[in-house]
Structure 1
Amino acid sequence: MNQFKWAEDDFDLPAGAFRLGPSDPQPVNGKTYIMYHGTTRKNAELIKANGFARSAGGMLGPGVYLSRDLLKASRYPIDHPEHDKVVIRVTVNVGKVIVINRQYHPRQKNWHDRRYGEVYDTAWVPPSCGMVKSGLEENCVWDPKRIKINNTIKPSPVGAGGLCYLWTEPC
C-alpha cells in the first residue's frame, strides 16, 4: 500500500503575510495569512485557470473553505485517493472575521449577509471547539477576490526505501 507525506518546501512569506502560529491563533481583522485548500488535481487546474468560486453551501454556508493548517487541507477531498489530491497554497486578506465556535451559532450560515446584522468577510472555526471532526481550524472566505493563489503542494510517496519529509530522511 502506498503511503504519502504532506510537507511543503521552505518558502519566503509574501510581504505582509503571516502563518498560523501559537502567538496568533485566531485570524486578526485585516491581516493577510497563508492558507490552504485541498482538492483534486483536476479541480486544482480549474481553480488555477479560473480562480476560486464560492461553494453553494457547507458548515458555514456559501464561501471558499480554507485552513491555515496544511494537514487540515490535505484531508480533502475526504475519501479520495491520496495520489490524486493537491493542496493549493494561497494568500488571503481575511478582512473582518467572525468566530463561529459552536453548532447552531446564530450567525453560522449568514455571517456575510447584512440582513442579519454586521457583515463579515471571513468566518473562523477555532480548533477543538467541537464543530470539526478533526479538531482543526477552518475558515470560510465570502469573496474569492480576497484570495491570491501562490502554488500547489502535492503529497510525496513514502515507504520502504522511500524518503520522508521531502527528501531529507530515509523511511
Structure 2
Amino acid sequence: MQYSWAEDDFDVPPGVGRLGLSAPGDNRKYVMYHGTTRAIAQSILATGFRQSTGGMLGRGVYLSRDLLKASRYPIDHPEHDRAVIKCLVKVGKVIKIDDKDHPKRKTWHDYGFDTAWVPPNCGMVKSGLEEDCVWDPSRITISKIIDPKPVPTGARGYM
C-alpha cells in the first residue's frame, strides 16, 4: 500500500519560516519535523523530546524542515507504523555543518551554537535532504502528530 504524508494544514504562525534551501537564520522560529514510530511519537507527546546520545552531529534532537525527510524515519520500519511530529523550533544561534570533516561537527554546542544545520545536497546525508540538530529540547514546541494517510489503489493525482 502507498501512503501520503501531505500536511492537512498549511498555516504557520506569524514570523515562522517554512522550508527553504537557504540556511536557517539565527534567532528565528521554524516549522520542523521529527520522524519516528507511532508509539514513540505518543511518548514524546506525553513527556517531550530528549537529546539523543549521539549521531552524525553528536548529541541533540534531530529534525528537518523537510516533511518528506522526516517521513522516512525510522528507516526500515513499516511506513504504516511511522509518525511525524510537527514542531515549532526556536533555533537560536545556528552553525552550518557541510562536511564530514568539519572541525565542529560533533562539538558545535561547545562553541555557543544552539542548532547545527546540514544543508541539502552537501554530501553528508544520503538522501540529499537537509537535517537539523537542536541541542536543547526546550527550544522545541510540539504542534501535532502527522500520520501517513493510505492512498486508495488506483487513485490518480498530480505530482
- TM-score tier by shorter-chain length is over 0.9
**Aligned match of 1:139 in 132, 143, 151?**
132
Distance apart, 1:47 and its partner CA: 0.3
> Shift of residue 161 of structure 1?
4.4
Aligned counterpart for 2:99 among listed residues 98, 102, 125: 102
Q: Which has the larger radius of gyration?
A: 1
Query: Deviation of residue 17 (structure 1)?
Result: 1.0
1:82 aligns with 2:43: no
Q: Structure 1-normalised TM-score?
A: 0.88
Q: What's the offset of the Cα at 1:86?
A: 0.3
Structure 1 residue 130 and structure 2 residue 123: aligned?
Answer: yes
Instruction: Provide the rounded CA distance (Å) in 1 between the counterparts of 2:128 and 2:82.
Output: 21
Q: In structure 2, what is the Cα distance between the partners aligned to 1:111 and 1:133?
A: 22
Measured after TM superposition, the shift of residue 20 of structure 1 is 1.2
CA distance in structure 2 between the partners assigned to 1:130 and 1:21 by the alignment: 18
Distance in 2 (alpha carbons) for counterparts of 1:161 and 1:104? 47
Structure 2: gaps (5+ residues):
none
TM-score normalised over the length of structure 2: 0.95
Confirm whether residue 11 of structure 1 aligns to residue 10 of structure 2. yes
Structure 1 residue ranges (4+ consecutive) displaced by more than 3 angstroms after TM superposition: none
1:21 to partner: Cα distance: 2.5
Q: What is the alpha-carbon distance in structure 2 between the residues aligned to residue 39 and residue 122 of structure 1?
A: 20
- Where does the alignment leave 5 or more consecutive residues of structure 1 unmatched? none
- Cα RMSD for the two superposed structures: 1.4
